[in-house]
Chains A and B, each alone.
Chain A
């Protein structure tokens, strides 16, 4: 199985900060990577698919980049609504797997 490793596990930041989360795959997954946001007690919400494509309705402050084994999710200016946990997920081959998550908390 392809392993997905996110860093950091916890990120403390302030409103207005530029935030970057990294996701590394244990082998090349081309651009078959998605990013999700999850808030407590809620289902995850898709933000980015195919490494850099926006799901409809996602604010433009979110962006994704990368290919192969190294990927990043960037929030250009952190907003109060963005404090949540973020997961990457590959969909190159079955089984699809998620990273362990990055919790973005208020500094």
Chain B
């Protein structure tokens, strides 16, 4: 069965970076784009960007341009999202999702990232 398993919760200090992983299984990894979406506590959903696992091409929301990097490792069917220069407003649950807004959409379980001094 399709699974997207994300790495565990993180606590980071302002100004540092965090790297969240999303390991896919149960389907052909390169056949589906992976999106990252985040949700601050008590807030709505924010689309962060997308990566094509086949070629590695990406598209990021302008708001995070320069701070977010999405990469993939086809040998382990894993996608990574790294966010740098963390600030308190980056405290959120980060989700990876396969085939967002399409048939067969599947989400990871979410990773809580807390930014606190």
Query: Does A95 lie within 8 Å of B44, measured CB to CB?
Result: no
Check: B62 CB closer than 8 A to any chain A CB: yes
Q: Please report whether the interface of chain A is mostly helix, strand, loop or mixed according to DSSP.
A: loop
Count of chain A residues near B, Cβ 8 A: 24
Check: B47 CB closer than 8 A to any chain A CB: yes
Query: Does A34 lie within 8 Å of B95, measured CB to CB?
Result: no
Query: Does B101 lie within 8 Å of A89, measured CB to CB?
Result: yes
A94-B57 Cα distance, complex, nearest whole Å: 14
Closest to A36 in B: B45
- CB-defined contacts of B102 to chain A, threshold 8 Å: 49
- Decide yes or no: A95 and B101 within 8 Å by CB, A43-B95, A87-B44, A89-B45 being known contacts: no
Check: A55 CB closer than 8 A to any chain B CB: yes
Check: A1 CB closer than 8 A to any chain B CB: yes
Q: How many A-B residue pairs have CB under 8 A?
A: 60
Report the minimum CB–CB distance from A22 to chain B (whole Å): 16
Query: Does A34 lie within 8 Å of B46, measured CB to CB?
Result: no
- The contact of B45 among A44, A46, A55, A56, by CB within 8 Å, is A44
27 intermolecular pairs with C-beta atoms under 8 Å apart = A1-B62, A32-B101, A34-B100, A43-B95, A43-B97, A43-B108, A43-B109, A44-B37, A44-B45, A46-B100, A46-B105, A49-B101, A49-B103, A53-B103, A56-B103, A87-B44, A89-B100, A89-B101, A94-B59, A95-B47, A95-B59, A95-B63, A96-B35, A96-B47, A96-B100, A96-B101, A98-B44
Q: Which residues of A contact B (CB under 8 A)?
A: 1, 32, 34, 36, 38, 43-46, 49, 53, 55-56, 87, 89, 91, 94-101
